């Protein structure tokens, strides 16, 4: 089943959801079409599984970063966070494409997409609390949004500039560490007008 999901992730990252067929997924994964349908009766089931696994991968990445943060410098946590999110590249690309393509009537997909969004924000909050347990709630929310924007851009730009991946990852880690190391007194929460 892992080979099927991996093949589908690649295909959905390469092309639009509607253009990918079950036959292509079976061919790419080296699976007999009958076996594919036994595991996944429809393409929607494949997509739902990808979204679910993407959510699991996000949770795992943030759990590890939050667990490591209290025992390491902020710079190391920031670099680890960028690296772990960048490593989700194919899932992120496929997940974004699926989130845009799937019918909102597909309840499992809708729930999985909502979970992914909640996992990103919740994971960032856990890391922020691990870095600075005394960070005021309004600052946690402001910083969560700022870090979310940086991490989303990380995924997009890693795909766009694969030859620059290592340097870009290092630079984004440095940038994020400078931001996260700022005491709360140096930053203010977003105003309601923002």
All structural domains of the chain, each given as residue ranges with its CATH number in brackets, are 43-183 (1.10.357)
Instruction: Give the DSSP letter of residue 18.
Output: G
| Rounded Cα distance, 58 and 181, in Å | 23
Tens digit of each residue's pLDDT (9 = 90 or more) over 59-107: 999 999 999 999 999 999 999 999 998 888 888 888 877 877 776 666 7
Tens digit of each residue's pLDDT (9 = 90 or more) over 104-145: 666 777 888 888 889 999 999 999 999 999 888 888 999 999
Lowest mean pLDDT: which of 12-21, 79-88, 165-174, 181-190? 181-190
Which residues touch 172 (CB under 8 Å, ≥6 apart)?
Answer: 82, 150, 153, 154
């Amino acid at each position: 089943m892992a080979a099927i999901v991996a093949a589908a992730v690649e295909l959905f990252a390469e092309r639009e959801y509607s253009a990918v067929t079950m036959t292509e997924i079976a061919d790419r994964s080296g699976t007999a079409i009958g076996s594919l349908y036994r595991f996944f009766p429809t393409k929607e089931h494949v997509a739902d599984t990808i979204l679910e696994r993407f959510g699991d991968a996000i949770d795992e990445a943030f759990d590890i970063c939050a667990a490591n943060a209290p025992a390491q410098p902020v710079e190391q946590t920031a670099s680890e966070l960028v690296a772990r999110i960048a490593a989700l590249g194919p899932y992120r690309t496929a997940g974004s494409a699926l989130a845009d393509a799937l019918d909102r009537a597909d309840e499992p997909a809708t729930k999985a997409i909502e979970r992914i969004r909640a996992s990103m924000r919740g994971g960032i909050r856990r890391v922020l609390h691990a870095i600075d347990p005394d960070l005021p709630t309004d600052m946690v929310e402001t910083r969560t949004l700022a870090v979310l924007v940086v991490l989303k851009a990380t995924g997009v730009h890693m795909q766009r500039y694969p030859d620059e991946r290592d340097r870009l990852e290092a630079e984004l880690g440095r940038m994020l560490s400078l931001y996260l190391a700022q005491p709360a007194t140096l930053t203010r929460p977003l105003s309601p007008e923002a």
